[in-house]
Amino acid sequence: MPIDDPNLAAYWDDHDPAFNPYTSAFQSTLLANPPSDYGSRWVSPAAPRGYPAPTLGEVRFRLLRGPMEPELLSSLITSTHVARLLMDGDEQVRRSVLATFKCDVRCFMKRQIVLLAMVRACMWRPDEIQDIVRTVYCTNGFLSGVVKNNHGLTALKELITAVVVHGRLLRPLIQCLLREPLFYQSPELVEHCFVTMPYDHSKFLILFAIVHNVELLSTSLGSRSMAQCFMYARDRELENIETYILDCTTALATSKYGNYFLQRAIEYGGERLQVDIAKRIAADVVSLSLDQFGSYVVESCFLQIMRSTMAPLQLVLDAFLALGDDDLAELVQGSFSNYVVSKLLRVAKDPKPAHARELARRIERLPTAVHREMHARRVMVEVRKTLQRPQAIRLY
């Protein structure tokens, strides 16, 4: 049952027998030998108002009769009882719940506390973890009913941890995750995969993200997941992401969500990447500084990486000093760019005092009408501090 995405075909053999959903290894002994009363209808746990809810003992009795009745998960009280019995380690209860999970996984999406308890109960049982993975693999939309709830997200994370222990199940689980559109909308889950999985497997999450970068960078959560891929990338995968970043620097900088990804690349990238990004930002510093999102990226070039290298700061300073008076005046008065100029003067004052003073004097020589503009006043405060001028007295 291979994944349809052709981008993974180059890396995985879709006919690998390591995961065959029809193999006898997936057969559950409970389903292979069902109890004599399997299929009989139990009394619904959703009792009419005024009737007492089933007790823990009553729920256990029902579970021991055969596969769990899905209606037991329709009530918060009875589903809590089921979770409690699973946590107590009752083997028959565990097998009863697992049998129903394999037949009706969607009822567990509403009661993730039971899903979490079941995963924990099966954690060190390879055959049962294999049953869970097979069921998840065969269920489209599984993540949509799970990751939006804390218990469901925790259950999925613990399932991933368990699968790592039983490594032969990693491929089908990763295929299942990549098939789900919501996977990259959960940065916490993406990070957990990188933390727990061997890189030989988790690198496919990076390769898939690069191919589908447009979809990922169209949302806030997708952008955060893309940043996670960058931070954990190595070797050829890191080179691929860096190439993409340098090819699309300006487009990413002015993107509503792509700018976040680019800022994280500036913050966590190597010195060579930081300098290469700064060169591209400096080449288009006017339009980017005037842009609502691009202005944050320009600031990142000298705010995020001061500790590692001064080269990006120098590149941005040189770009501002090379501007003509008209461009400089436009930046001083811009609703977004005035923050860039102010922060640049403040940050450069100590490590690059000569360049900071030169830029401040350039701004000081601009027409008085520019200085009086609303957004320019913030810049003039930094200019006076840089040149050690007395603060202007405001007259009312």
Position 22 scores a pLDDT of 35
What is the structure's pLDDT at 392? 55
Q: Comparing C-alpha atoms, which of 31, 221, 214 is closest to residue 128?
A: 31
pLDDT (0 to 100) of residue 367: 94
The stretches in the chain having pLDDT less than 50 are 1-45, 393-396
pLDDT tens digits, 1-47: 444 444 444 444 443 444 443 333 333 333 344 444 434 434 444 55
pLDDT, tens digit (0-9, with 9 covering 90-100), for 288-304? 999 999 999 999 999 87
Distances (CA, A) of 47 to 90, 111, 230: 26, 18, 52
CA neighbor of 73 nearest in space, from 117, 139, 35, 26: 117
User: pTM value?
Assistant: 0.80
For residue 12, the SS3 value is coil
Q: What is the pLDDT of residue 306?
A: 58
For residue 344, the model assigns a pLDDT of 96
Distance CA 389, CA 254 (A): 36
pLDDT at 395: 37
Give the distance between the most distant pair of CA atoms in the chain. Answer: 94
* Measured distance CA(295)–CA(259) in Å, rounded: 10
Residue from 307, 302, 321 nearest 263 by CA: 302
Q: Answer whether 168's CB lies under 8 Å from 26's CB.
A: no
Q: Retrieve residue 324's tokens.
A: 């003509």
Q: Write the DSSP assignment of 319-349 as a string of letters.
A: HHHTS-HHHHHHHHH-TTHHHHHHHHHHHHT
